[in-house]
Each structure stands twice: as structure tokens, then as C-alpha cells.
Structure 1
Amino acid sequence: MSKPTIVFIPGAWLPEPTYSSFLQALEKAGYPVRYISFPSSESAGADCQQDATAIRDQAIKPLIEHEGKDILLLMHSYGSMPGASAARGFCKTDRQRNGQAGGIIALICIGAFLVPEGLSCAGLQGGKLPDWVLLDQPEKGVNIPDNAVEIFAADVEPGLTNQMTAQLKPHSNLAFTSEQPPSAWTESSYDGRCAYIVTGEDRAVSKHAQYQMIEGTGKRWIVKEIPSSSHMAPFLSLTDICIELVHEIVSECEDF
């Protein structure tokens, strides 16, 4: 049986080369992969809604409506905010019921933000971003992370972290301060099809915060955990473990 196409939605600051070894490993495991970047990684004027629209129009709609593909939406960090919004109305369960081909079989978040509609990423954190997010640097309207190795990948060997930090890109402030659009995980059709891989030693999004956000949705999630892993370890040094958890989630969703 052919595997679903993975649409991978990255975190802020982290361009495609940062995830290249993970994406290649997914393809080696038999998953077709479509990486999608978003406007806020290119423009200071882009917000979360614009990112969601780009993900829907550039990846989800073409793959499902034009090609009839089954999709697994894999979202890291900030990527779950626009990604979950873009997924609304595309659940495979609903499409199958309507005699339509293709659809999203699961939403998988990894060390990600689950933000209630109308609240921003900053608002979820008391109205202020962490001090390590350097606003208006290197120019007005964008930001960069300070001490990225310590925050993102303290458990990863230096060769990989040096490469990661060299690839980081500024991100729009608006992405973090604009309101979260409605998210697909609130739709009943995604019940049993929402999963979260917890990064257990994450300094960017703490383990406590991850479980708190999951509980705060009021929904039942398939929850897996990589106990001793930083924000980027699943993509840089614990790739095999992460992909095995993806396999498990796909299997559970297909049996649902």
C-alpha cells in the first residue's frame, strides 16, 4: 500500500536545508515529501493568515483537489499555526464521505504551538515573546533567535549545529503577533487524527508547555514523546526515532 504524501511545514527561521537530512530520510522510508515555506520567512509584512493561505494554495489544494493525494501534514514549531489553519475542510474522512478522492489523514505536530483562535503566539506567552527572540534584528519588522545552538539543539553534535546556525533566516514579527486563524484540530472530522510528538528536553518550547497546550485544546490527541530531545534533535540527530513515531501515528490513523 502506497504511503501518504508528507507536506512538511517548518518552524520559524529554519529554511529547507536545515531539515534536509530528515526530509531525505522520509523519502528513503517511502514517503513522497513536499516542503512548503511561507511568506513570513521572506517578508516583514506577512502574518499568520498569509502563511496559512500560501500553504493551502501552494500545497494542500493542488495535491488533494488536483491529484487526489492522501496527505500527512507534518508541522514543526511555529509551522503548526498556519499549517493547522490551512488544513481546515480537507480531512480525508469528510472527503471520503462525499465521494471525493484524497484528503488529510493526520495532523502531526512536533514541538509545536497549539494556539487558540484569536490569540497570537506572543499572546499565548503572556503578550511577550521570549528574550531570546531578538525583535527588529537584523532590520525593522523581522527577528532572529539569539544563541540558537543552546535554545534549539544543545544535545546535537557541533558539526550539525554549526551548519544549522549558518542557515537561519530572519522571520516576520507579524507572524508571532498576529491572531491565530481557525485551526483544523477544532473540527470534529479530525477527531482521532491529531497527533503530537513531544520534544522532551526542548528549551524553545518546554515539555510542560507542550503538554499544557495539548490539554488546553480539549481534544484527544495521539501523543508520542522523544524523551531526551531538543527542538531540532528529531530532524538532526534523532531522525530514525522521529520517523518511527510517524510510522506509528500513520498506522493508528489508518486503523481509526
Structure 2
Amino acid sequence: MTTIVIVPGAWLPPSFYGPFAQALKTAGYDVRYASYPSLDLKDPSATDCETDAKALAGTLRSIVEDEGKDVLLFQYSYAGMPGAAAAVGLSRSQRAKEGKRGGIIGLLFIAAFVVPESLSCAGLQGGNLPPWILLDKPSTGLNIPDDPINNFAPDVDPTLARSLEADIKPHSTLAFTSPQPHPAWADEEFRGQLGFIVTTKDRALPKEAQYGMMAATQQQWITREIDSSHCAPFISRIEDTVKATQDIIAELA
């Protein structure tokens, strides 16, 4: 049985992904959730992308090395940065060569950032974060998104979208402005093990940007599209997201 490890995007807590996680379990997968410290933290000055990656790596190593699980790493939005770094050295193909069981069978990104080593999320966007990210809110070093319904879920029923707005938590700005540690998607052992679910009506991370980041890696990607906004895959398009995930798993090398 494949274990799907969900790494969340910025601003949204585990409860937001609960219905999607349950749908994956119903489809027959073992589902885990991997958290990182830059979300709703108390000391934003000390938490950058590398810190997040180290926290995720600890969780992944426990699942892969201690439990021997075959893992699909499911990374949403900002999670594409620390998640890719956390996966380094844990490919199932590499571990099999070393006579070890378990490992990451694939890196799956959904509406996610795929950032070259040493470049930050802000750096990828010309050095500045988009204006809808409200800096130093609610306090110095933290940020929250402006008008989350309009930016993240304009295609979702308003009743459901209001719950999204209520779930928003502050995030560390340093996580977005610090450099990307070495990402696993650049390594030979993950060749043929990269998937991306593109959200084609995404205002926060436009479709063109998603394809552009993939192209810049010069790697081969297995892709699926969902005709949705940034957050709809986990609210109103859960069935489509599960199907796209299943399709990509079936095609992984």
C-alpha cells in the first residue's frame, strides 16, 4: 500500500485537508500529514525554508526508514520548496540499490512552487512577494493573505469558501524570502518520479507560472490538470484531485 504524505501549503492548518485525506483513505491509501514550524509559529525570525525542510525530513525518515513505507510525497503550494529538500536521499530506487526497503516513489506537486537551489520564493517572483500577501500582519515577521476567497477560491460555493477564510493562520515571511535548499527533483534518482497537478484557473499561482517552473527544471514531468482555483482541489474538486493523484501514481517510474 502506498503511503501518501501530505505537506500543506502556507496559511492553512491540517483540518483544511481533512476531507481530501479521508477521500484518499477511502480510495485505499495510507495517509499521513507532515507539518513544519513556519506555519502559525511563535518565533518567525528563527524559521526559514531550511528549518521547515529539516522538520519534514525527520518525519519522512521515520516513515521511510523506521516503517519501511513506500511514500508519495504530496506537496501543495509553498510546500514544494521544503518538501523537495526534505526528500533528498530518500528515493525508493536509490534505497533499493542499497538493499533497503521503503522510500519515496514520487514527488507530486499541486499548484506548488518548484524553485531552483539558492533562490527564494520571493526571488522567483522578481524579488518581491505579491501585493496580496500582507506583510507584518498580524505582527512583525508574519504575513496573511488579503481577500483569501477571491485569490484562492473564487470558483467555490460561498458557504464553503467562508470556512476557508476562517481557517487562515499567519505564516513566517522568512520562509518565503529565504533560499531553497537543494531540491530532490534535481537529482538523478528522482528522474521519472516527478508529477504535477496544474490548477488552470489559479489566481494565486497562474497556470503559466506552474508550467514555467516545470520547464525551467529541464526535467520530465507527469502532469494532470484540474480546471480550478488554488484551493478548490481540497474543497469542491476533491474527487478530481484524488483521480489525478491516482493517475500520476500509476505512471511513476
Shared fold per TM-score greater than 0.5: yes
SS in 2 for 1:114: coil
Number of the residue aligned with 1:235? 234
CA distance in 2, matches of 1:95, 1:170: 37
Shift of 1:46: 0.5
Shift of 1:66: 0.5
Task: State the identity as a percent.
Answer: 50
Number of the residue aligned with 1:63? 63
Shift of 1:17: 1.1
Segment drifting more, 42-51 vs 128-137 = 42-51
Match of 2:14 among 13, 16, 20: 16
TM-score by length of 2: 0.97
What is the correspondence of 1:140-159 to structure 2 with a 5 Å cutoff?
140-159=140-159
CA distance in 1, matches of 2:119, 2:173: 15
CA distance in 2, matches of 1:101, 1:117: 29
Number of the residue aligned with 1:188? 188
The alignment yields a C-alpha RMSD, in angstroms, of: 0.7
CA distance in 2, matches of 1:145, 1:18: 16
1:25 aligns with 2:26: no
Structure 1 counterpart of 2:99, which letter? G
SS in 1 for 2:38: helix
Give a deviation string over 1:124-170, Cα, whole Å, max 9, x none. Answer: 00000000000000100100000000000000111211111101100
What is the correspondence of 1:103-252 to structure 2 with a 5 Å cutoff?
103-226=103-226, 228-252=227-251
Structure 1 counterpart of 2:218, which letter? G
Shift of 1:26: 0.9
Shift of 1:24: 1.0
CA distance in 2, matches of 1:131, 1:165: 18
SS in 1 for 2:71: strand
Structure 2 counterpart of 1:5, which letter? T
Segment drifting more, 27-36 vs 148-157 = 27-36
Structure 1 counterpart of 2:159, which letter? G
| Gap runs ≥5 in structure 2 | none
Number of the residue aligned with 1:52? 53
CA distance in 1, matches of 2:114, 2:64: 24
Number of the residue aligned with 1:40? 38
Q: Please list every run of at least 4 consecutive aligned residues from structure 1 whose deviation after the TM superposition is greater than 4 angstroms.
A: none
| Gap runs ≥5 in structure 1 | none
SS in 2 for 1:39: coil
CA distance in 2, matches of 1:144, 1:247: 32
Give a deviation string over 1:43-99, Cα, whole Å, max 9, x none. Answer: 412100000000011x20001111100000000000010000000000000111111
SS in 2 for 1:208: helix
SS in 2 for 1:104: strand
